[in-house]
Structures are given as C-alpha cells and as structure tokens.
Chains A and B, each alone.
Chain A
C-alpha cells in the first residue's frame, strides 16, 4: 500500500491516476498510523511552498514524515518543502535534503515558470534505483518558478537557461523529483514504477 499524504495542497488527482495506470494500491490519507504502516509514501504538492509548509504543519504530520524509514517520494513542491528552506515566502522547510529552493532569475532566454519538457542528466550521481532503465538525457515534464540548488544529495540535474539545478534529490530513504513523473509520459511511468519497486 502506498500512502499519498493528503494535506490540502493542490490537485492530487494526477498522482492517483498515475498509480491507477500502474495498477498500484494507494490511499489518500493524513492519518499518521496509515502513513507509518505504508510500504511507500508520496508527498505531492502544487502551488506555493510557504502555503504548503503551513498546510503540512497544520496536519501535525511533520514529525511522522521525518521518522519514516520506508521510501518517501516528494514531487515538485513536495520535494521543495523537504529541502532546507525556500525563497518562496521565505519559509524554513523540513531540512531533509541539503538544498535551498531559490527563484529562477529573470533571463530572456529562459522563461519563468520553467514549463515544459526538459532533459535530466548526471543520473549516475546517486547510483540510484529510481533511474533504473532511465537514460541520461531523457525528457521529463517540469512546471515551476523556484528550483532546488545543487547539493550533495543531488541525483539528477537539469539546465534552464544559465541555471543548473537539482532535478532529483535523495537522502537515505527520502527521494524527490522537481519534475512531474506522473505527467512525463512513459519515462515518468518508469520512474514511478522504479519507486514503487524500491
């Protein structure tokens, strides 16, 4: 059973649909007992990082998330709030990943939001099973205006204009993708399958 953490943070439907397509059992939940008992946990997130942190705090689930020993996957803003802090609303985050979340600078050659399909690279950094059968240079779908900086937890990179940032992060049993695997076609499905099979 996969627990999708329900903390009133945007549309969780696409994550549910992706798991349905793979035939995975999942439950949308904010119940600590269910989250602790789950084989895998997904922390989705759409919208504003400061709001997402506030909503997550309101659930009282932060100590639960930090104590999990099974694989946890943060997606997009879900990844961002697992970093140290975010410039979006100047908010302190969970501090699981050693990365800071910053706003993309204005760049005429690199529009913000960074929206669309871009390539991920350096997938060998973490020697991570999340990228089994995913070649470097694969295109995945991004939608974001803030990016996680490069750090020791970076397991995939992406370039937008002059900025090279973390496309994916891993620390112990915690994983995060800045892109949306649930919207990234067959490659995205492979990444979710890899997570489910960890």
Chain B
C-alpha cells in the first residue's frame, strides 16, 4: 500500500529560508538547497517550498532557486506562492518543480486549476485551502486567514478535484500555529468525500498529533514546518514512532 507521507515545509524569502533551522552541523542556516537535502536524507517523503516574497525580483530569485533544488534533490517537491497565471506555473515547471500549489489565485479564478491541470496533468496541481470554522461551517480564507471568502471548504475542495486538482492541502487556520493537534474530524470528513489525496497542515505539536491525523484523520500526508525546523521532532524518530503506531511509512 502507498505509504503515508511526511512533508516539511520551508518558507522562502528572496531565495533564503526564512525561519531558522535547528540542524546540527549546518553552518549556512538559510540555504534552502542544503536544508532540503538534509530533510531528504533524514527521510522526508516530499518537500514544499513556499515563496513568501512579494516582489518581482524576489520571484525571479525563487525560480532560480527552484532550478538549484531540482538539480540537487532526488525526491519530489512542490512550490507555492505567487502563482496566479498559467505562465507562472509553466515557469516553475521548466525550472524543475514536480508540483505547484495554488491558493488565493484559485479562489479568485477557479479556471486556473482547470487550465494548469489540462496542460500539465493533475499530478502537477495541488490546491491549498486555508479554512476557518465560522459558526460550525468551514469557510475558505485568503491572505493568511485575514480575508474570508464565500466558499465552503467541502464544496470548494470537490470543485477543485472536479477541475483537475491532484491533491488538496487543507490548513485549518484555527489550528495553525497552536501546536495543539490537527483538525482530525474535518480531515476525515474531507478525505471521505474526495477521491484525491489530502495533505493535512496546521497544528502539529507532537508525534501523537501526526499519528492521529494520519489514522483517525485519514489524511494521506502530514505537512509541518516549525516542529521540524526547530528540531522538536526529528524525522527519523517520527518515522520510527509512526511505524510503531501501525502507520505505513517509507523506511
């Protein structure tokens, strides 16, 4: 059976990793290629690089970085941030990205999902949804949770799938940053209505949280940032503990 995936996420600004990373022996903190390679060697199943630059120059730097990552890393990686046209996606594909992730731009223009999937295949398109629970209904947000949209999570995720998304990356904005665990019930419900894989993000604070979202939460993959970056959980230990809990992981 296909293994559950562990995906560290790195935020990049002007070609550098933004958050400090707590690897022993890494001198150049901030070097995205080196960080990515470390995670890959430690057993990460995929990597996500999010461009949080807002400038045109920064975007160009990011595309150059994607080329370097593709040359140096032998596992799949997704890039996201600032992709609002088919041309943006094409540029990153040419640079060597295996997948792109789109979020606000897909909400503003759902046709973008269809266009990218038709041109490059569903496997290339991850639709990221940042949602908040508003009086019992999960509503998609944009701009890091600041802007509420009129799109309900489950309906929007289904539409994204129907338009050709290959995976859904759902972040619960209510759980993100809390380190109190993932929104397991919501992931389980989402996973049941979708036929494509679901990546869980937001709330990981310890190994049990990841065990829970991959078992009870039925997620296909767990994404996390700070717990890996700050060395709170080392990936080899995490993999060993997941295996011990009966979760099928790549060893």
- The verdict on B58 contacting chain A, using a C-beta distance below 8 Å, is no
Beta-carbon contact of B2 and A185 below 8 Å: no
Further pairs besides A11-B120, A106-B195, A116-B3: 17, Cβ < 8 Å: A13-B70, A13-B93, A21-B72, A47-B120, A47-B121, A108-B192, A111-B196, A113-B166, A117-B2, A139-B250, A139-B251, A141-B76, A161-B1, A182-B74, A183-B76, A184-B75, A186-B74
- The verdict on B5 contacting chain A, using a C-beta distance below 8 Å, is yes
Q: Please report the C-alpha to C-alpha distance between residue A13 and residue B94 in the assembled complex, in whole angstroms.
A: 7
Beta-carbon contact of A112 and B74 below 8 Å: no
Could you say which residues of chain A place their CB within 8 Å of the CB of B166?
A: 113, 115
Can you pick out 21 interface pairs between chain A and chain B where the beta carbons lie within 8 Å of each other?
A11-B94, A11-B120, A13-B96, A46-B120, A47-B120, A106-B195, A111-B195, A113-B122, A113-B123, A114-B2, A115-B123, A115-B167, A116-B197, A117-B2, A139-B251, A182-B74, A184-B74, A184-B75, A185-B40, A185-B75, A186-B74
Shortest distance from the beta carbon of B67 to any chain A beta carbon, whole Å: 9
User: Interface residues, chain B, CB within 8 Å of chain A?
Assistant: 1-3, 5, 40, 45, 70-72, 74-76, 93-96, 98, 120-123, 166-167, 192, 195-197, 220-221, 250-251
Give 10 closest A-B pairs by Cβ, nearest first: A139-B250, A117-B250, A143-B123, A117-B3, A13-B96, A116-B2, A118-B2, A47-B121, A183-B76, A17-B71
A82-102 toward B: CB 8 Å interface, digit per residue (1/0)? 000000000000000000000
Q: Within A31-87, which residues are at the interface with B (CB < 8 Å)?
A: 46-48
Could you say which residues of chain A place their CB within 8 Å of the CB of B3?
A: 116-119, 139
Interface of B is mostly: loop
Beta-carbon contact of A10 and B121 below 8 Å: yes
Which of chain B's residues has its CB closest to A107's CB? B195
- Size category of the A interface is 35 or more
Among A110, A116, A139, max chain B CB count under 10 A is at A116
User: Interface residues, chain A, CB within 8 Å of chain B?
Assistant: 10-11, 13-14, 17-18, 20-21, 46-48, 106, 108, 110-119, 139, 141-143, 145, 159-161, 180, 182-186, 188-189
Beta-carbon contact of A189 and B74 below 8 Å: yes
Could you say which residues of chain A place their CB within 8 Å of the CB of B40?
A: 185
Could you say which residues of chain B place their CB within 8 Å of the CB of A47?
A: 120-121
